[in-house]
A and B are shown apart, each in its own frame.
Chain A
Amino acid sequence: DGGITQSPKYLFRKEGQNVTLSCEQNLNHDAMYWYRQDPGQGLRLIYYSQIVNDFQKGDIAEGYSVSREKKESFPLTVTSAQKNPTAFYLCASSGTSEKLFFGSGTQLSVL
């Protein structure tokens, strides 16, 4: 089935540790996105990429990094500089229809 796969579903980070969230899509979409969702809040854009080897900061990029070496993959690293990383992270992709397709998310918690 075509879609977006995020892994792991749950992730725990220790103080000072970097962690990487995986996002893979087989929809042949050019654009991919990372959003952060906090309880009672809407989604906020962290980073997005319109093509391979290119990406732009969203509204809350500080403390995060991304790479886009392959069209199918857009991993997000939560660095130790992100002081409040506990949140639900959603990856999305879009083709030509301006409609976002979302993965099932990763819940990141701090130990």
Chain B
Amino acid sequence: AQKVTQAQTEISVVEKEDVTLDCVYETRDTTYYLFWYKQPPSGELVFLIRRNSFDEQNEISGRYSWNFQKSTSSFNFTITASQVVDSAVYFCALDLLQTGANNLFFGTGTRLTVIP
């Protein structure tokens, strides 16, 4: 069975601190995609990154970085020098590509609050 676990329900940090959001996934498939989405108070989910299972290179985009480790089935997300605008709920998701459509399995989300 497939599962995505985001053990951190809520995190609060002071502005300019670094913060890491954890994501652990379970699947027996060898081919899959992993995603991170941001859900600001407005409600819509905003795509942040997609990583396929064959690409374990870490990625950096501005203040955001992602650490993908297949050995531990983890896909963690780090925000460097956090800002108030980073306050949102962040979701990690797994796509098994079984049906040809995007059937994402979402974690329960981590609510990040950045305190000014």
Contact = CB atoms under 8 A, between A and B. Distances in A.
Partners in one complex: yes
Contacts of A99: 35, 47, 50
Interface residues of A, number: 24
B33 A98 contact: yes
A42 B4 contact: yes
A98 B102 contact: yes
A42 B95 contact: no
Contacts of A31: 101-102
Contact of A103 (B44, B50, B107): B44
Given A31-B101, A41-B108, A100 B47 contact: yes
Contact of A43 (B9, B42, B91): B91
Contacts, number: 64
B106 A43 contact: yes
Interface residues of B, number: 27
A41 B103 CA distance: 17
Contacts of A104: 42-44
B60 interface: no
A74 interface: no
Interface string A54-86: 001010000000000000000000000000000
Contacts of A94: 101-102
Contacts of A102: 37, 44-46
B99 interface: yes
Contacts of A48: 101-103
Nearest to A41: B108
A56 B92 CA distance: 24
A45 B103 CA distance: 7
Given A40-B9, A88-B43, 6 more contacts: A31-B102, A42-B108, A94-B102, A99-B50, A104-B43, A104-B44
